[in-house]
Amino acid sequence: MPGGARPDRAKTMTALFLAILSSASLALIFRTTEARGYNRFVITAVNYLAAVATAGVLFVLDLLARQTVPVPPEPMTGAFGPALVIAVPGGVLFFLSFILYQRAVAEYGPGPAGMYGKLGILVPMVLSMVVWNELPTTIQWVGLAVALCAIVISQTGRGRRFGSPGGAHPVAVPRPLLIVLLLSMGFAEFSNKLFERFGDDRVRSLFLALLFGTALIAATVAAWRRNERPTAAELRWGVLVGVPNLFSSFFLIASLKTVPAAVAFPAFSAGSIGLIAVGARVIYQDRLTLRQWSAVGLTAVALVLINLR
């Protein structure tokens, strides 16, 4: 594999946990920005800017650690092409997913939008199994199924039925917008797997800078067309969102080096949901429903099973 030997399992499971922790932190910070009424497009644009800056700092620090000059040596130059080719469409998909999610929430409610968005992990899961034959072990299959149950349970319940212009429909009924949301989020996450598979890990930070930089351009254009102007508070909170956003992808890519994508993505999604629920209980004093506690418990079981051989 480019960039060195494959890391041991303990390191990649630690990376998976850090990716989950970063993703949960991102969601909890977003909750605060929503509660304070900050502009979503501005927060999103600043978040991408902070992610690009953080990735750039990481890349420079890595170069210094390798005792290289600012321009990478010849053996690394071939790594920039694959990173760019994967990052640009990935960045567009990340921003498109944000727009689609907002529309889905407005049309169908947060429950259906959240469920279909989280189930986007089915895309990298299935593609990795079909294309690269990355199959979980028997016990990991059980953990995968438990993780998917946790995702579905956490996003349904009181929102079992939702309103739409045509009346109430069960969450299970696929609507075109929800299917497109699932696919866009799934292929956006798949860009991380593509880089792990074809990219050079020595330029992982640069890849993420290019990915979030592309999303930043799209978000900035959208904010400009809406004539949005950031306040000082939105700038600060956008930065707080951007740092964990960057590290969730940074550590997820690291975990994919030894954990099959069919295992890592469900664990990442379900684990994030579990930590978000616990964090909401601790930080915001939310009263969790029985369904939410069940999802947290299933997530814990899934993570244990997924970690077994």
**Scanning the structure block, which residue is given the tokens 């041991």?**
8
pLDDT for residue 292: 76
Contacts of 274 (CB under 8 A, 6+ apart): 150, 295, 296, 299, 300
Assign 3-class secondary structure to 60-111: HHHHHHCCCCCCCCHHHHCCHHHHHHHHHHHHHHHHHHHHHHHHHHHHHCHH
Average pLDDT over residues 169-189: 78
**Scanning the structure block, which residue is given the tokens 């620090």?**
61
pTM > 0.95: yes or no: no
Structural domain spans, the chain: 9-306
Tens digit of pLDDT for each residue in 238-270? Answer: 999 999 999 999 999 999 988 888 888 988 988
Contacts of 143 (CB under 8 A, 6+ apart): 136, 263, 266, 267, 301, 302, 303, 304, 305, 306, 307, 308
Are the CB atoms for 62 and 163 separated by under 8 Å? no
Are the CB atoms for 60 and 217 separated by under 8 Å? no
Most distant pair of Cα atoms in the chain: their distance: 63
* DSSP code string of 222-280: HHHHTT----HHHHHHHHHHHHHHHHHHHHHHHHTTTS-HHHHHHHHHHHHHHHHHHHH
Residues across the chain: 309
Tens digit of pLDDT for each residue in 111-168? Answer: 677 778 888 888 999 999 999 998 888 888 888 888 888 888 876 654 444 444 444 4
Are the CB atoms for 164 and 175 separated by under 8 Å? yes
DSSP state of 172: T
